[in-house]
Structure 1
């Protein structure tokens, strides 16, 4: 059974995507941007603050789908300036230091909004069908 999880992002209906999609014991969380609750860019100019916001949104989707942080098996951290990877890594470590998923950091040319400095994707597999 396919379950779609929304974060309420205004981009979801326009683009035609879900924050996360669950099928059985697998969950894929879309590239998650640093969008504040009011729809503005969270923590402008701050890679760490933006990464924290991306992770807050992704983690909420994980929990909303009935998964746990221990189910995270892979993350992808995309940055517009790879020289600032340690700032995003600090936020990642604060959230996933115990889980230690496979993780990739990659530099990209840009995102939809030029103020976004980071986006994060997350994949999960539950030990059992949750």
Structure 2
């Protein structure tokens, strides 16, 4: 189901908790909501639809991938400065991101995955993982 995007900074600042199989509806809702906003969105964290669970969706290649309980387990020393926007905020803000990250996560079937992501894909994932800690760009 397509959900409304949360724009309240107080709600967005709440730390997220680990997701379980009971949170699969949130995964489906995130995928529906990000696809409904795909002309202006490449990723979304669950708190952006009001659910404080560590679930994100990110555009990887040409499809949206759900990551449940993702953790960055390695990152390059190389960083770059960029500007990012967010559906929950107006405008863009400056950020520094790692060029390459390694992420361990569970997929939609709760199968353990490990992926290496570079450049823009890594940037999307880092942005969404920041949401889990209540960090708003």
Check whether TM > 0.5.
Answer: no
Greater fraction of residues in strand:
2
TM-score (norm 1): 0.28
TM-score (norm 2): 0.27
- Say which structure, 1 or 2, has more relative contact order (CA 8 Å, 6+ apart): 1
